[in-house]
Amino acid sequence: MQPADRQRAEEMAPRATYRVQLHAGFGFDDVAAISGYLADLGVSHVYCSPYLQAAAGSTHGYDVVDHRRLNGELGGPEAFGRMTQALAAHGLSQVVDIVPNHMAAVGRENPWWWDVLENGPSSRWADAFDIDWGGTAEATGNRVLLPILGDHYGRLLEAGDIRLVRNGPAFEVHYFEHAVPVSPRTLDVVLTRAAARCGSDELATLASALGRLPPATATDRHSVRERHRDKFVLGRLLGRLLDEQPEVVAAVDDAVASTNADPDALDALIARQNYRLAHWRVASEELDYRRFFDISTLVGLRMELAHVFEETHELILGLVAGGDVTGLRVDHPDGLRDPEAYLCRLFEATAGAWIVVEKILEPGEELPPAWPVAGTTGYDFLNLVGGIFVDPSGEKPLTELHSRFTGAPDDYAEVVREKKHLVMHETLAADVRRIVDLAVVACDRHRRFRDYTRPELAAAITELVACFPVYRTYFRPGQPPTDVDVARVGTAVAEARSRRPDLDPDLFGLLGDVLTLGVPGQAEEELAVRFQQLTSPVMAKGAEDTAFYCWRRLVSLNEVGGDPGRFGTGVEEFHRWNSRAATDYPSTMLALSTHDTKRSADVRARISLLSEIPDQWALAVRRWSALNEAHKVDGLPDRGAEYLLYQTLVGAWPLSTERAVAYMDKAAREAKEHTSWTRPDPVYDQALRTFVEAVMADPGFSADLAAFVAHLVRPGRVTSLAQVLVAMTAPGVPDLYQGSELWDLSLVDPDNRRPVDYDARRRALDQVSSAGPTDVWPPDPACDGTTKLWLIHRALAVRRERAAAFAPGSSYDALEVSGDKADHAVAYCRNAQVAVVVPRLVMGLGRGAPLGGESGPSWGETTVTVPPGRWTDALGGGVVEGGEVGLDGLLSQFPMALLVAG
């Protein structure tokens, strides 16, 4: 990004954001109702989930069906206007989540998709979707595969579950709640039969004219214009005829009924459509369009086309231009063909709005520097921060416990590679096939590589993908490749060669050259681009949605954007990251919990404490396992699921049986070890539910668990508060996920999208807004989180009052901590105006002020070196002079400090 562009975007950056999940039960008017509370809390922007028109009943908004409308279920334009006015009245603006990668393919709700199904390649929107119209099989050539059936097509057709339906002058094919259009050109047979029954020459003429419409494969401009013009005119004439002549209506409906009664006739009609109805299992092998991950109802958009960008962004860009929206969160840019081109176009179209991208960075990976964005949505930050509260000394004993108890391998990277192969074989096989097809064409152009067989190419490509170290590369045809991307391909090629010595090493060399755009040719270029769009969903499904659920050493590390194989974050690494962020991405988003996190920040904080007490944890696990063995059914569930359950209960206790069962059911299906979403095992599923219910109902276990957790609650809260203070003061824009301003022991979605009680939060904020540290600390054991709310309110007030300390260009400097417990604190200074001191690894501090204000030793002679001058603690209330400051005194009133100069 150019300096002038960076400055323009940074001027638009929020002070702090608050994420809300919009749906029919919480719409625009509900946001308006909490605008005063959010302003008083201290944020500057409401950060909304997608609010363009989504599929009916959507609970998240990522399934957009119409980019031209605000979601009617949220209240539509009128309610949106009221929300905007309420936010503006309280000095708040909006950040909105946008979804450029895909749309929901849900029948008539999506007018573009409906038009594609009706008109095939000749649709006005055929090029908007990333569809392989050529196909590779005769059965699917120039027809879109629709995997919506619950059983084989022929069985359902013969059973009468698939029917032809007349809807006025239009005709549709229905399968229960699914409806798809019938191409007007294919109505000739049905209408000709109806005309013969009622003797209508006019109907016969219309039938003949419909049959002469240009075919769907005629994609030249003249044919497309003629088809759409004439089908519209003929449709109106047919509608008028049906309105005026009851005998024609009766004849047409009789023809429809007779077609439905004759499977051969109905099959012949469906065979002429621009889609192929298929069993949902067919999608993994034969799908002919790019989708979001493995969700067949979310079809990929070709955002690289100018007209697609313009038509999908017109409404959002209008909101930005009008000042209603000042920031954008871009969902899943890695799915796009050319993320850099898209982001540059978006940046220019918004005249430099604050833009952050949902880009998952592997440890050590950085955003492509050419992207004109303020940063990421914060997954890199939340993993970095969470890591400093993991005790490295616990790695060996927890690894041994995990291996002995569950039988899991020690090498997490090997598990990821294995699971990536699994998802490529089971759920993303169609995506792999598309790449292999391109490789076959590319190899055929080179005499040295022409004799590689399709199985050899498939084996080499899948191994390369499995060995890929990051989500994707960003090679751009016509542009020189970056050294970073070339090195990543080289790493994958070298590892793939070593793992598959049975394959010709020259084949990997060829693929490496193709993927780095070193081999000219259209097929070669397309292969390189498509490969980049494949590695991302394979990584996401293989790691986040599979390996994370079956490698369970310390599950607080199993978080989006994290690497569970790395046991935490060193303090020096933490400072280096923040120092670099202050320089390169001072307005990046800082998140702790999101709608996609596997566990809330508070749950992760408590689970991370186990790294400090591995021996006690091991004893508890063995004790609980012996106690609960009687609750298993024929030895089920397995030890891995049991180990995950115990960590989950420790992190989220207390939680209901219903929530525990729902979480473990999802976790087992995601792990894909014994059961899955696509291949459920009812016996295992029931055994797991029975076990969880019995464990939760066992009074002996519950008492033992509660006693174990009781010793972790306050240290966990200290860790949670420390994470919050870091997020409020580190370089970037802090984001609060809905409801997380109080203690939030939520698990993965949909658990973390439960309704939020804003009335209770309003009352709590009123209660603590003028409170002092002794009013909120130490908290009552049953406290609902007012301490956390108080800390957020105080920290955001400091961000507002000392804006220069957090503005782009402000410095970040680590502060020296000395003494026998120096490893238990992290301290830094922002622009010589605000200093922060937080505890870490608090179980090792013993009793004392950091854990609750009891008397007794705590920090001993440990000190922090504060820059010269007079400093006032905005939390504890004390005043200190610069130099070496003892932590025992500094943290006597509150377990962390937020020092303000002057």
pLDDT of the residue at 141: 64
Distance CA 547, CA 560 (A): 12
Within 8 A by CB and 6+ apart from 732, the residues are 375, 378, 381, 581, 585, 586, 587, 588, 589, 590
* Phi, psi at 180, each rounded to 5°: -135, 150
Residue 856 backbone class (left: φ over 0; alpha: ψ -120 to 50; beta: rest)? left
Grouping H, G, I as helix, E, B as strand and the rest as coil, residue 172 is: strand
Distance CA 373, CA 887 (A): 39
Residue 841 backbone class (left: φ over 0; alpha: ψ -120 to 50; beta: rest)? left
- Of 62, 78, 70, the C-alpha closest to 29 is 78
Within 8 A by CB and 6+ apart from 483, the residues are none
pLDDT of the residue at 850: 42
Q: State the burial class of residue 267 (Cβ atoms within 10 Å of its Cβ: 0-12, 13-18, 19+).
A: middle
Residue 648 backbone class (left: φ over 0; alpha: ψ -120 to 50; beta: rest)? alpha
Q: Hunting for tokens 């009781």 — which residue is that?
A: 710
pLDDT of the residue at 12: 83
pTM of the model: 0.95
Distance CA 684, CA 318 (A): 52
E strand residue ranges, 89-175: 93-98, 102-104, 144-149, 162-167, 170-175
pLDDT of the residue at 855: 42
Going from the first residue of the chain to its last (902 residues), give the mean pLDDT of each consecutive group of 10, the final group possibly shorter: 67 94 98 98 98 97 98 98 98 98 94 96 95 64 91 97 96 96 96 94 94 93 92 94 94 96 97 96 93 95 98 98 96 98 97 95 94 97 98 97 96 97 96 95 89 96 98 96 96 97 95 95 95 97 97 97 95 97 97 98 98 98 98 96 98 97 98 95 98 98 97 96 98 98 97 97 96 90 88 98 96 97 97 98 70 56 97 96 96 96 94
* Per-residue tokens: 897: 């400090």
Rounded to 10 deg, the angle between the 201-211 and 221-244 helix axes is 160
Grouping H, G, I as helix, E, B as strand and the rest as coil, residue 662 is: helix
Strand partners, 129: 301
SS (H, E, C) 272-304: CCCEEEEEHHHHHHHCCECEECCEEEEEEECCC
Distance CA 797, CA 42 (A): 6
pLDDT of the residue at 446: 85
Q: Calculate the dihedral angle through the C-alpha atoms of 40, 875, 10, 86, rounding to the nearest 10 degrees.
A: 0
- Of 254, 297, 272, the C-alpha closest to 182 is 272
